[in-house]
């Protein structure tokens, strides 16, 4: 042991004590009513404004705590700050209830190039997507090992939560409503077909979204060349999970014709799992497409949709799409899901397949099995013209309850049907399933809801749902 060095450290410490030095402050409190920015920011002498916090250089282990039940106007700006796994940087509320950060016409929280940042237990508000706001509730850019939890975000032109670039992100218990472009949107760096921030490569690694609700995000008036009004949208992600989430009544005010929004979906991503989610009553513009429940869109590979429930969407319950310019779409699975009366406007089916005409990259190899489709708009499965090699529909139940036309609709090649069960209650079509020679054509006697009021009220009720069982 180097005794001289140890004695030197002790003497230095004693010298600091004699000078009256105090430990570095770790918690900074903000109180809009009792605070003063000339205070030291302690619990007894808090700061007053967001601007004071923006002037600090936060370090690992610091917390910024806003007094609950109060509103703070402005944008909290966090740039190039780094916590650690053991000592993250926290931004939260204290006292009674949640604090509100009102971004007025901008973002409420803007974080750039930050690591180990935790934002939780806050309400974020903007002036409204049609009333001058130009930002998002939380906007993260190039973040790593960060968490967003227990946040409500509304009134923003873009998204309740918007993330561009980074890795290792958790988003949990977020209620994102009444925003423009989407409730929650995570992208890798790049641009989409309309020149907006989007995803090209699959460079955002490790994303977890759970226990979130995206409701009534109608559309972004600034987006005229692409979709808007999504519930939860991720793009450019490798290794991501969306589970126990709900999307409802989104997309109804998209300001354009053409491709449209979806409740919960992913594109240009690899190894994605969407499970135990509820997507219902989503919409699109008057002449818009899509408006569906769930979607694996262009460039999806090695991904799974399972144990989800889709109901009463204007578009199909489950879209499997490949747009022009996306990378290859391949090796995906869709199983043990339910679609109930989806596609009343677009697709008229539970499942809808589409590949853009002339697409240089194919869409292929998808196992679609053990799903239930109950539909009153004419079809169970619908194809837009194209080749779908390796699409296998196996052991599904297709039940048409009204306006029966055919179980499968469209012009396609490559897809096959095997050992499915099909039934039409109104029996106004020839009782046959020519696409599946081995189909079981008997009534499965599914327990259906007497009316839509009997459907689950939220994602938490899915687990206990007694409907849609076979009663033979």
Asked whether residue 371 is domain-assigned, the answer is yes
Lowest mean pLDDT among 75-84, 301-310, 440-449: 440-449
If asked whether residues 140 and 170 sit together in one domain, one would say no
Residues 209 and 114 occupy one common structural domain: no
Tell whether 274 is covered by a domain: yes
Q: What percent of the chain has pLDDT over 70?
A: 93
- The predicted model scores a pTM of 0.94
pLDDT digits over 270-320, tens only? 999 999 999 999 999 999 999 999 999 999 999 999 999 999 999 999 999
Which residue among 104, 127, 148 closes a domain? 148
User: What number is the average pLDDT over the span 44-55?
Assistant: 98
- Decide if pLDDT at 18 tops 80: no
Indicate if 214 and 110 belong to the same structural domain: no
Asked, for residue 45, whether it belongs to a domain, the answer is no
Confidence at residue 193, expressed as pLDDT on a 0 to 100 scale? 55
Q: Is residue 30 part of a domain?
A: no
Residue 12 binned pLDDT confidence (cut-offs 50, 70, 90): very low
Q: What is the pLDDT of residue 16?
A: 39
Same domain for 417 and 277?
Answer: yes
348 with 252, same domain: the answer is: yes
Average pLDDT value for the chain? 93
Residues 164 and 141 in one domain: no
- 123 and 262 fall within a common domain: no
170 vs 22, more confident: 170
22 pLDDT exceeds 90? no
pLDDT band at 7 (very low <50, low <70, confident <90, very high): very low
**CATH code of the domain containing 271:** 2.160.20
Q: What is the pLDDT of residues 60-69, one digit of tens each?
A: 999 999 999 9
Domain that holds residue 452: 158-472
342 and 234, same domain (yes or no): yes
- The residue among 124, 148, 172 that closes a domain is 148
Same domain? 345 vs 464: yes
Q: Does 421 lie in the same domain as 467? A: yes
Residue 19 lies in a domain: no
Three-class SS string for the chain? Answer: CCHHHHHHHHHHHHHHHHCCCCCCCCEEEECCCCCCCCCCCCCCCCECCHHHHHCCCCCCCCEEEEECCCEEECCEEEECCECCCCCCEEEEEECCCCEEEECCCCCCEEEECCECEEEEEEEEECCCCCCCCCCCCEEEEEEEEEEEEEEEEECCCCEEEEEEEEEEEEEEEEEEECCCCEEEEEECCCECCCCCECCCCCCEEEEEEECCEEECCCCCCCCCCCCCCEEEEEECEEEEEEECCEEECCCCCCCCCECCCEEEEEECCEEEEEECCEEECCCCCCCECCCEEEEECCCCECCEEECCEEECCCCCCEEEEECCCCCCEEEEEEECCEEECCCCCCCCCCEEEEECCCCCCCEEEEEEECCEEEECCCCCEEECCEECCCEEEECCEEEECCCCCCCEECCEECCEEECCEEEECCCCCCCCCCCCCCCECCCCCECCCCCHHHCCCCHHHCCCCCCCCECC
pLDDT > 60? residue 351: yes
Within a domain: 380: yes
Mean pLDDT over 96-124 rounds to 98
Confidence (pLDDT) at 11: 43
In a domain, residue 41? The reply is no
Residues 163 and 141 in one domain: no
Both tokens assigned to 402? 């009204």
Residues 216 and 116 in one domain: no
Residue 47 lies in a domain: no
Final residue belonging to a domain, choices 148, 180, 215 = 148
Q: What would the pLDDT profile of 112-133 be if each residue is shown by its tens digit?
A: 999 999 999 999 999 999 999 9
Q: How many domains does the chain have?
A: 2
């Amino acid at each position: 042991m180097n005794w001289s060095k140890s004695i030197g450290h002790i003497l230095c410490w004693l010298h600091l004590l004699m000078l009256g030095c105090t430990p570095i402050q770790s918690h900074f409190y903000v109180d809009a009513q009792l605070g003063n920015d000339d205070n030291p920011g302690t619990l007894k002498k808090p700061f007053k404004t967001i601007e004071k916090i923006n002037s600090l250089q936060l370090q690992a282990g610091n917390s910024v705590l806003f007094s609950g039940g109060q509103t703070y106007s402005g944008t909290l700006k966090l740039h190039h700050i780094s916590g650690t796994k053991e000592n993250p940087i926290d931004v939260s509320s204290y006292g009674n209830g949640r604090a509100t950060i009102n971004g007025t016409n901008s973002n409420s929280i803007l974080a750039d190039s930050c690591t180990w940042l935790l934002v939780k237990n806050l309400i974020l508000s903007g002036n409204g997507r049609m009333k001058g706001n130009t930002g998002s509730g939380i906007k993260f850019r190039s973040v790593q090992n960060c968490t967003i939890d227990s946040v409500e975000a509304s009134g923003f032109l873009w998204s309740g939560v918007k993330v561009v670039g980074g890795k290792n992100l958790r988003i949990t218990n977020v209620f994102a409503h009444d925003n423009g472009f989407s409730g929650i949107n995570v992208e890798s760096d790049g641009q989409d077909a309309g020149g907006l921030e989007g995803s090209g490569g699959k460079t955002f690694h490790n994303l977890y979204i759970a226990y979130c609700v995206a409701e009534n995000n109608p559309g972004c008036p600034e987006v005229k060349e692409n979709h808007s009004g999504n519930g939860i949208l991720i793009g450019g992600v490798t290794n991501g999970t969306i589970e126990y989430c709900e999307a409802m009544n989104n997309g109804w005010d998209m300001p354009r014709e053409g491709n449209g929004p979806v409740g919960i979906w992913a594109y240009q991503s690899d190894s994605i799992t969407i499970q135990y989610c509820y997507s219902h009553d989503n919409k699109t513009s008057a002449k818009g497409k899509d408006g569906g429940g769930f979607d694996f869109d262009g460039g999806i590979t090695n991904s799974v949709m399972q144990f989800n429930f889709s109901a009463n969407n204007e578009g199909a319950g489950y879209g499997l799409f490949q747009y022009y310019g996306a990378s290859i779409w391949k090796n995906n699975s869709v199983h043990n899901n339910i679609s109930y009366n989806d596609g009343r406007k677009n697709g008229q089916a539970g499942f809808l397949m589409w590949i853009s005409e002339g697409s240089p990259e194919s869409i292929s190899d998808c196992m679609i099995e053990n799903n239930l489709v109950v539909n009153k708009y004419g079809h169970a499965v619908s194809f837009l013209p194209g080749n779908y090699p390796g699409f296998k529909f196996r052991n599904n139940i297709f039940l048409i309850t009204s306006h029966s036309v055919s179980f499968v609709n469209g012009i396609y090649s490559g897809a096959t049907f095997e050992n499915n069960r099909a039934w039409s209650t109104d029996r106004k079509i020839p009782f046959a399933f020519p696409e599946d020679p081995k189909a079981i054509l008997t009534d499965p006697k599914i327990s259906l809801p007497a009316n839509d009021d009997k459907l689950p009220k939220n994602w938490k009720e899915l687990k206990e749902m007694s409907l849609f069982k076979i009663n033979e």
